[in-house]
Amino acid sequence: MSDTFARPGPRSRGQALAEFAIVFPIMIFVLVAFVEIGRAVYSYTTITNAARQGARVAVVNQIGYATECDTSRPIEDPADAHWSVVGCAITAGTGVGITAADVSLSFSPPAGTTLSCSPTLRIGCIASVTVVYSFQPVTPFVSSVIGPISMSSTSQMPIERVFP
């Protein structure tokens, strides 16, 4: 009777180690790439939510550049606003470190209308909030291969109430 499970010969002893040494770096790179892709998706989702939150505030409150976002308190004096478009966008984007320089706000008339939105805002004007972010992978090797990725998200909504 022949032995079907014969021991490998002396020349194939290190074959598994050599194959593992070749495949292991590829497996690690794929694993790290999945982690970086997850971080990039999280960053994009965060800036999208920040732009949407800013646009939601711009619908009822056109105060642009106060840095707070305390929507539980009413704004009694526009010079002392507790919440603003940029402030609420910054608050929604804290997970990735959004700053006021990353948020831009503009108002424009809806397409196909004769509505004027400059110099006076009117109900129906489109509030547009754009948030930009530069995603940087944290893994040195992936960072050198991919480099920084510029991300941008814009949210637009019509003004429902003119304030102040």
* pLDDT tens-digit series, residues 117-142: 888 888 999 999 999 999 999 988 88
Q: What pLDDT digit, counting tens, does each position of 76-127 carry?
A: 777 777 888 999 999 999 999 999 999 999 999 998 888 888 888 889 999 9
Phi, psi dihedrals of residue 151, rounded to the nearest 5°: -120, 145
* Pairing, β 126-135 against β 103-108: antiparallel
Q: What is the pTM of this model?
A: 0.81
Give the strand order in the sheet containing 126-135.
Answer: 103-108, 126-135, 149-158
> Where is pLDDT greater, at 70 or 154?
154
Which residue bears the tokens 């754009």? 130
- The structural domains of the chain, with segments of one domain joined by +, span 14-158
